[in-house]
Amino acid sequence: MHKFDFKNKTAVITGGAQGFGLDIAKNFLLFGAKVFIWDIDEKELLKATKEINSPNLEYNVIDVSNPGLIEKTVSSILLNNKIDILINSAGITGPTAELWNYNINDWNSILDINLNGTFYCCKSIVPSMIKNNYGRIVNIASVSGKDGNANASAYSSAKAGVIGLTKSLGKELSTYNIAVNAITPAGAKTRILDQMSKEHVQRMLSKVPRGRFLEINELSSMVCWLSSEENSFSTAAVFDISGGRSTY
């Protein structure tokens, strides 16, 4: 991976205890950042913190669907730090089912975590970025938010919403030195696949012209560039990393 300079930068990464979020955290730390990883799973947070063993890594037990907790935690972090980078990586896929058979509670939970959680985190952190006239926000959407996945209407809708949020917020912040972008990965071998049926996973893979799942380090590399000072112009954009699957 190309080396980036994140010295004197502080990043918040939601869903940071595992999968995409954890790998992004490792790379940010490698390149000199201070990192706060947020996750609802304290066991995984402790495991990640012990594994990485860095004085520049801290964690918070966060449910991103709880705006009050987010506000409180952000205020605490800002007492001694700036927040330069926000990576919204927390998400769930939920069960696979036809829309007319979709459980309403599951639908609400998926939208609350994937879409509302992204909104809550941006709403809490963006004012400090405006004050400092600097920020990089990367929202992890999904190729399903562009193309749609059968039997995953809630997840597809939530990720489409994340794309729309990114485009709106990027335009709202375009006069500041703040970049807001989304990436749309295809499936990757993370724990999120465990939430899906084997048939659904295979159907996803069959749509990828590359013929394989996304490697986590491939996504992290793209996120690092979008989060760096080198990305001085791109904002309100969607960066595809779907192995050729996307039709637009």
Phi, psi of 189 (to 5 degrees): -80, 75
Segment 126-185, tens digit of pLDDT: 999 999 999 999 999 999 999 998 999 999 999 999 999 999 999 999 999 999 999 999
Domains of the chain, earliest start first: 10-240 (3.40.50.720)
The Cβ of residue 165 has, within 10 Å, a number of other Cβ atoms equal to 20
Q: Which two tokens stand for residue 18?
A: 């595992």
How far apart, in Å, are the Cα atoms of 51 and each of 39, 44, 127, 193?
16, 10, 33, 23
pTM value is 0.92
Q: Give me the catalytic one of 102, 120, 134, 155.
A: 155
Active-site annotation holds for 134: no
Angle at 227 between CA 43 and CA 34, to 5 degrees: 50
CA atoms of 141 and 204, how far apart (whole Å): 16
Nearest to 113 by CA among 87, 85, 91, 96: 91
Q: Go through 16-40 and write b for each residue having 16 or more CB atoms within 10 A of its CB, e for each that does not.
A: bbbbbbbbbbbbbbebebbbbbbbb
Segment 201-246, tens digit of pLDDT: 676 666 777 767 788 999 999 999 999 999 999 999 999 987 777 7
